Amino acid sequence: MRFSSYLAVALLQASVSVASPLEAKVLAPRSSRPHHAVSPYHPGKLFPSSPARTKTCTVKSHGKGKDDSDYILKAIKECNNGGHVIFSKETNYTIGTALDLTFLQHIDLDIQGTITFTNDTDYWQANAFKQVFQNATTFFQLGGTDVNVYGGGTLDGNGQIWYDLYAKDIYILRPILFGTIGLKGGRIEDLNLRYSPQWYNFVANSSDVVFSDLTISGGSKSSNVAKNTDGWDTYRSSNIVIQNSHIDNGDDCVSFKPNSTDIVVQNLICNGSHGISVGSLGQYLGEVDIVKNVYVYNISMSNASDGARIKVWPGISSALSGDLQGGGGSGAVSNITYDGMTISNVDYAIEITQCYGQKNLTLCNEFPSNLTISDITIRNFKGTTSKKYDPLVGYLVCSSPSVCSDITIENIDVVSPSGTDLYKCGSIAGIESQVNCAAAT
């Protein structure tokens, strides 16, 4: 896969149109489609053009916290196939019904106001859309062809009740705030995502989608932590860009789940996360997981467990927690580049493990991962790790050298609080010549 600079593809992107002027009869003003440049890197494949919209619909609200799903569906159906739907500024919309929006065609959703999902946990556990990976569910499913979502507004998942409920029962199904499911061509830009019950974005079975200029945040106001609040999880998706965004969350900033290919992640500020992660992979016996052609560039990572992270399950059944178990799946991770990361108070600057979920390393090595890791480049890192693993700054351990190869780590200027730059190393050929491996204990 080629990753080219934006200058090389700017002319290709010039064909994308902006929204047409507001019709006089429409009271709510339209936002102009932002179309942030994909820059400086690009997956190398042209994104489809998105013609100007020719009709406009404004979403009404019942007010007083009543479910506005009927008004939302009415406006979307009226403006599908060439329209612009406006969620008015300074209007609070409420959604209390699971919305299947996978029928969208050539439509812009202009969210200027605030959309809040109800806190009816019984309803959402029974009716949220069940996805096919790790018991994931979503409040809604947004998919189709040529869909743009923007406007500067806010989607609020009302997460606090879910954080408290999860602390009592880890088996509850917590909805994901934004479900991009089966979208072929689109842009999600200029939005604020707040208080998701679980992951903020799940991108599944989608292609040719750009996420740009989003802000993500929403911690717990109680002693119960907002867990598993990944910024993005990609799954069975390709030609995806995630860029120019600020993420404050409690799990992976971005995670590439099985069969994520041709992806660029760039210019992110991540705080409180578990890093930019490949995986976890190899969780399901009989499944083949592929992640390849991923470029991660210019990341600020602070107060996190990891910076760059590749996590693979071993070849034996393992349990990370009661609601997260697996191991034995196969596949491959290849052509992954992490280029440029500034870290501050991060536990491990770099972590590669093939024993995810298995605390018994002897057992893990007896049953090495069935999933290979190769052609990995990690370069141009700087900063200071946290005290957690001091004097270590990284963890580079495969379950067998036969399943890890061509791993390059260069120009890393990362030290622990005590000034060391040691890594725990194991079963990776040639790693000792690239980093300062700690002596075996």
Torsion 13-336-207-177 (CA) sign: negative
Q: Which of 110, 149, 105, 116 is nearest to 28 (CA)?
A: 110
Residue 274 annotated among the catalytic residues of the structure:
yes
SS3 content of the chain, % helix, strand, coil (to 5): 10, 50, 40
Among all chains, which residue has been given the structure tokens 């057992």?
Answer: 363
User: How many C-beta atoms surround the C-beta of residue 5 within 10 A?
Assistant: 12
Q: What is the largest CA-CA distance in the chain?
A: 75
Q: Give bridge partners of residue 150 from the DSSP assignment.
A: 110
d(C-alpha 335, C-alpha 407), whole Å: 10
Length of the chain: 441
DSSP annotation of 52: P
What are 113's two structure tokens? 């106001």
Q: Which amino acid is at 52?
A: A
Exposure b/e, 241-256, CB count within 10 A at least 16 = b: bbbbbbbbbbbbbbbb
Strands (E), 139-231: 140-150, 154-156, 175-176, 178-189, 192-194, 201-204, 207-212, 215-217
Q: Which of 93, 108, 170, 105 is nearest to 139 (CA)?
A: 93
Residue of 42, 84, 106, 274 marked catalytic: 274
> Where in the sequence numbering do the catalytic residues fall?
274
